[in-house]
Structure 1
């Protein structure tokens, strides 16, 4: 069912969508091996790929679903490059593949959070100590006693950069970002829940860098990327991979006041500028811990499957059970997020599901993961035994596509465990 509203910026395409589906048949198991029927898998594929692409908001959609550790679906639909809303298909357009890398945007936060928990597991930091203990410049103006745990839980008191004039390129200047955060005033940590779109990631990354003497990328490589056997799954993208990356495009309903103001406050730069810079080389050259990790849908699902498997991947333990127990436990009750303007429930680093409905669909109170800008999702749901990743390249805040997303997640949750799971 198509819930697209009039006036929506949509892709225009004459192709039969069925011709644009790509399936990683070598990876997908037989439905019964994952405890599902063929009809259930077909319904999930239709909901998560066909229906999402049918909104004409997303030039490309990639989706990977694991159940009980087995890959049930690893598929893509649409064009990775050469197709944008309200533009004709380019002559050099390239169809998306299941292994097409996509920028995770804020879904990257789950990774920097787990790296921070890993450093605590190794004894490098104490999550309950102030950030200023490891980064002395992060002090004064309400910040001195703010703990690492509070930053992880979006209660650090510095949710966005100060309002001083700056362009989007500031996000690619690591040292300048750290300097600006340390210089600006903030609330005392823990006073209110307010999503830290970029600021928290830089501070967590700087703590990792100061304590380990290694870059965030090096620490990610050694603790997660290489042990998990990832091809991408890193901040930024090397030159040889850029021809394969999926382009991002503004889509959906025009973003007007007051939503436009809220979006700019949350993102620190205007909505459409974020989309534009994400396709630029200087963005892919940068390391933005909370916003520019690149991965395939299968890689993100693999990461969450490792968490679902109690920190073990192919017989190797990557996280201790106590580390994951802390990373996944609620850091607060459900409260209104002052940045996102919606009720949210966080752990120290992850967005938690809610009942009767939440980010991961209906009756997803046991789920955990993270949302990415916009409608990128990576999550695990232990009540259903699933780890999943949904990647989309059309960036829309408002519109009927949100109804389609919730309906699609409802179909997925129903077939993987029922709405009462």
Structure 2
């Protein structure tokens, strides 16, 4: 009974809270899959929603560049535990906060600037942001920063007011004045939000443009996205999905690890992200808003060598550099789990990794435990799984794993790859 607390009311008729346009979905058989492949994946998503731990879930899956699933289930607003107000269905057009899945997108702006010759990944951060080069950070490179090896995994404040995370310039000043907790490049320690601010400051300095403008002109507009932006404009905020803490409270050891990574009590973070101030801020590593289809579109473009609908957005060699491992898989000092990063992405593994079983070439990113966006060249798929329930309930982890398993089983590796 303890583990059934703090959950969403799930209707018996799931069709009543399901939203999709059948005309947007390709027959799986047309892309080399079994006819029931999409149905099996969707059944796993329904089970994930049925756990009562996610007010809303949306998913888009492409195979060979064609959409086989683009659906949403549940509510964007009004059905979280204790939430008041009118219920608003989550649809495939609803923007959702990507949380840490934002990191990969922001990192690709740095790779775009490198492609344009405005910076070099192996140059020192201080070459572009001189105020960063002190207290032992003088030799840290951009590559190390993007691969969680810069030694600045934490905001250097003893008692972090979570609202300070909305203040880009203040966080950059604090990090520039800080001391690293390890020699540059020697220790992998997940930088939950810190590296994003410094990389964002570098991007703005070398380009002469704001980070929101860079995201808009270099990615969102070329991809034809309505959202895909840092935060939401005031007029867009009523359309955005709200996040909710669900399930049981964290055990003390897990809560300590979570706060060390996130700087905020786990249970408070979902509420913080629903604040208009957060939605109107620029948090490069944590507050890009996107629909599932738009995020999937981004990964499909990378999977297709940097081209979207005939328009080149990245050179193939830029993408190859972005997915190149920064080192072997190792126990991350922040996450206390084995992870392998590139200077943009969390990489897949064999026999099992973040993106399911036998996905060694997959690349993407995790967002707040259960948002997962990725591409797998071996399967020729791009996937975006978004949701609004923030939880560590054991059955949430299990149902997410089952969705990943359903995708990998029903989208087998393409022959010859």
User: Please, what TM-score do these two structures have when normalized by structure 2?
Assistant: 0.96
Is contact 1:60-1:394 (8 Å) kept? Answer: yes
Select which of 155, 158, 163 maps to 1:161. 155
How big is each residue's C-alpha offset from its partner over 1:226-263, in whole Å with a ceiling of 9 and x where there is no partner? 00000000001011211111110001231121111111
Question: Are 1:371 and 2:352 matched, yes or no?
Answer: no
SS in structure 1 opposite 2:23? coil
* Residue of structure 2 equivalent to 1:415: 410
Q: Which runs of 5+ in 1 are unaligned?
A: none
Question: Are 1:353 and 2:312 matched, yes or no?
Answer: no
How big is each residue's C-alpha offset from its partner over 1:47-86, in whole Å with a ceiling of 9 and x where there is no partner? 1x2111011100100000000000110000001100113x
- Within a 5 Å distance, the mapping from 1:2-401 to structure 2 comes to 6-47=3-44, 49-85=45-81, 87=82, 90=84, 92-186=86-180, 187-401=182-396
| Cα displacement (A) at 1:8 | 4.5
Task: Tell me the distance in 2 between the aligned counterparts of 1:139 and 1:315.
Answer: 41
Distance 1:44 1:419, change over 3 A: farther
Task: Tell me the distance in 2 between the aligned counterparts of 1:99 and 1:38.
Answer: 26
Task: Tell me the distance in 1 between the aligned counterparts of 2:24 and 2:364.
Answer: 23
Task: Tell me the distance in 2 between the aligned counterparts of 1:183 and 1:258.
Answer: 30
Q: Which runs of 5+ in 2 are unaligned?
A: none
Task: Tell me the distance in 1 between the aligned counterparts of 2:117 and 2:372.
Answer: 31
SS in structure 2 opposite 1:239? coil
Is contact 2:378-2:413 (8 Å) kept? Answer: no
Task: Tell me the distance in 1 between the aligned counterparts of 2:122 and 2:28.
Answer: 45
Pairs aligned (count): 415
| Cα displacement (A) at 1:418 | 5.9
Task: Tell me the distance in 2 between the aligned counterparts of 1:395 and 1:296.
Answer: 18
| Cα displacement (A) at 1:165 | 2.5
Q: Bigger shift: 145-154 or 351-360? A: 351-360
How big is each residue's C-alpha offset from its partner over 1:72-129, in whole Å with a ceiling of 9 and x where there is no partner? 10000001100113x3x75511111011100000000011111100100100001101
SS in structure 2 opposite 1:99? coil
| Cα displacement (A) at 1:18 | 2.2
SS in structure 2 opposite 1:264? helix
User: Please, what TM-score do these two structures have when normalized by structure 1?
Assistant: 0.95
Is contact 2:3-2:393 (8 Å) kept? Answer: no
| Cα displacement (A) at 1:5 | 7.5
Task: Tell me the distance in 2 between the aligned counterparts of 1:38 and 1:51.
Answer: 20
